[in-house]
Structure 1
Amino acid sequence: MADSPSRAEIIDMLRQHVEAGCTDMLTEAPVNQFAASEIRLGLKSDSAPPRDNSQAQPTGPATTPLAIPQVPPETRIDTHNLAASADSLDDLRATMDHFDGCALKKTAKNTVFCDGVAGAKIMLIGEAPGQDEDRQGKPFVGRSGQLLDTMLAAIGITREENLYISNIVPWRPPGNRSPSIEEIVTCKPFIARHIALAKPDILLLVGNISNKTLLDTQTGITKLRGQWQSYEADGLKIPALPLLHPAYVLRRPETKADMWTDLCQLQKRLAS
């Protein structure tokens, strides 16, 4: 008789299922999770990106779920008008610093607004801050950020010289979970205004959430990666390159070659 799988093997197997897009155990009847999300939030499916499975998830012992403060409906603010009122990056940062319409801000240490060179030709947009980013108040400063810095530096791109970085969601979700649809929808006007004010020539969209949110697509990152897209909003039309999330590459080292291939596409574009 074959040996029973170890706990580590079972966890690895479950992780592979999650990365493949599985969210539930097998049931007697199919459940449309996208429709369920629309019913809960009253959203159209094209504005509701599903959970991003490329984001690194905690692998330690199971813990009691964190209590997440809720924002009462009467205090929720239409972020479209709020974001549009910002006339500069400094105005937008101040607006977001004073914004209390997202429950994530109540548990986050910092508003992770940006890093790098404002006005740079290239703007990179990630998903949401992790623990290191929340502590330092800057995007991509943990292990995945270090890998990203190393790979971009190999083609002459650094946050100290010619790169500007931000996130779809500026506040860390508790436990490093993926942002909810409602949280993404709340924060989307802020990143859209951020792009409009930063005026980059090229966007690098890292991970599922950034691509599905800004490109209004349901296509996963593993199919989108390395294929130039177009970000269109507020009268802008900016070339956008979808990239794998470095946290995903760290978990699956065999995908590093794909990341290099995609960065070569960027290098060719910059050289043309």
Structure 2
Amino acid sequence: MTATADPSRAEFEQLLRFYADSGLDFALDAEPGDRFEAPAPPAQPAVARPAPSAPNQEPAAGRPAANLAQPARIPDDQAVGLAQQTAAGAADLDALRAAVEAFEGCNLKRSARSTIFEGGTRGAHVMLVGAAPSRDDDKNAEAFSGIDGILLGKMLAAIGLDSKADIYAGFCVPWTVPGGERPTPLHMKICAPLLHRQIALARPRLIVALGNAASQQLHGSKKTIMQLRGTWAETDFGAGAVPVTALFDPAFLREQPRFKRMAWLDLLALKKRLTGDGNTA
């Protein structure tokens, strides 16, 4: 057999460049191996397991009790009934807010930082309803905050409304959805009694639903925001009929700025409605 000479430095560098160009940037092992043959699992050292504690045993000093802060998940059908009971038991907005913050029937509460029950000023004639708080809302513990809140404030200011003083705000679902997604129909169904009771207690003169999901929820319709915007319907959640209309959500307008002209026309129609109802706009 002919002996081969050790590769030179230049040959090593050329080989490494070839590996790098091929996407191989590190070695898995010093020696090649068969990747299709599963290796035997390494022996696990014996670990002494502590004896299980009694169910009602107090945790040791300085150590938190495990899983005591995580309530059991409530079945979906029972969650709707629980929301109805929670809403019916609230005599005013303060009581409802406390009840919503303690409500465990919606799994979104487990992943959210904050419960965003309301925003703006109680007693305002106009109530804005969004689908769910944004990630900025969740982080800031404030309704309609962040960049979307800034845009919404400018939209309202254009027709003479202050987003803090002249508006009361709520959400179909008071917890943000992971990834900034919209709430599922189940989330909306579970939380609907809470929103309905909030509207009944707030007694707004007008309701403006922001975006597709909130518009469908409050109009009781499967029509899209394109079909519902600029139209008026009446809804009654126990405190008399309240007119409701739909506007584009600020997040949608940021992503689709070509619809801002349509949004401006809808705002002008809202201003006309407010002026006709005798409100300042």
Q: TM-score normalized by structure 1?
A: 0.72
**Native 8 Å contact 1:125 1:166 kept in 2:** yes
- Cα deviation for residue 162 of structure 1 reads 1.1
- Cα deviation for residue 109 of structure 1 reads 0.4
* Per-residue deviation, residues 69-98 of structure 1 (Å, max 9, x unmatched): 993429735211210110111000000111
1:170 corresponds to 2:171: no
- Cα deviation for residue 246 of structure 1 reads 1.1
- For 1:73 and 1:267, the matched residues in 2 are separated by 44
Match of 2:83 in 1: 79
- For 1:96 and 1:233, the matched residues in 2 are separated by 18
- Cα deviation for residue 235 of structure 1 reads 5.0
1:115 corresponds to 2:119: yes
**Native 8 Å contact 1:70 1:103 kept in 2:** no
Match of 1:187 in 2: 191
Work out which of the residue numbers 152, 155, 158 in structure 2 matches 1:151: 155
Seen in structure 2, the aligned counterparts of structure 1 residues 87 and 72 have a Cα distance that, compared at 3 Å, is closer
- Cα deviation for residue 241 of structure 1 reads 1.4
- For 1:70 and 1:221, the matched residues in 2 are separated by 37
Aligned partner of 1:173: which letter?
Answer: V
**Native 8 Å contact 1:113 1:138 kept in 2:** no
Match of 2:269 in 1: 265
- For 2:224 and 2:251, the matched residues in 1 are separated by 16
Q: Which portions of structure 1, spanning 4 or more consecutive aligned residues, are displaced by more than 6 angstroms?
A: none
- Cα deviation for residue 111 of structure 1 reads 0.3
SS at match of 1:78: helix
* Per-residue deviation, residues 178-224 of structure 1 (Å, max 9, x unmatched): 11111111101011000000000000111111111121100000111
Match of 1:11 in 2: none
Structure 1: gaps spanning 5 or more residues: 1-68
- For 2:272 and 2:75, the matched residues in 1 are separated by 48
* Per-residue deviation, residues 223-246 of structure 1 (Å, max 9, x unmatched): 110112212332521111111111
Match of 1:203 in 2: 207
Aligned partner of 1:220: which letter?
Answer: T
Seen in structure 2, the aligned counterparts of structure 1 residues 80 and 72 have a Cα distance that, compared at 3 Å, is closer
1:217 corresponds to 2:221: yes
- For 2:175 and 2:106, the matched residues in 1 are separated by 9
Work out which of the residue numbers 236, 240, 243 in structure 2 matches 1:236: 240
SS at match of 2:179: helix
Q: TM-score normalized by structure 2?
A: 0.69
* Higher gyration radius (CA): 2
Structure 2: gaps spanning 5 or more residues: 1-70, 277-281
Aligned partner of 2:232: which letter?
Answer: W
- Give the alignment of 1:130-141 within 5 angstroms: 130-141=134-145
- For 1:186 and 1:166, the matched residues in 2 are separated by 16
**Native 8 Å contact 1:159 1:165 kept in 2:** no
- Cα deviation for residue 171 of structure 1 reads 0.4
SS at match of 2:142: coil
- For 1:186 and 1:231, the matched residues in 2 are separated by 19
Aligned partner of 2:235: which letter?
Answer: Y
1:142 corresponds to 2:158: no
Number of equivalences: 204
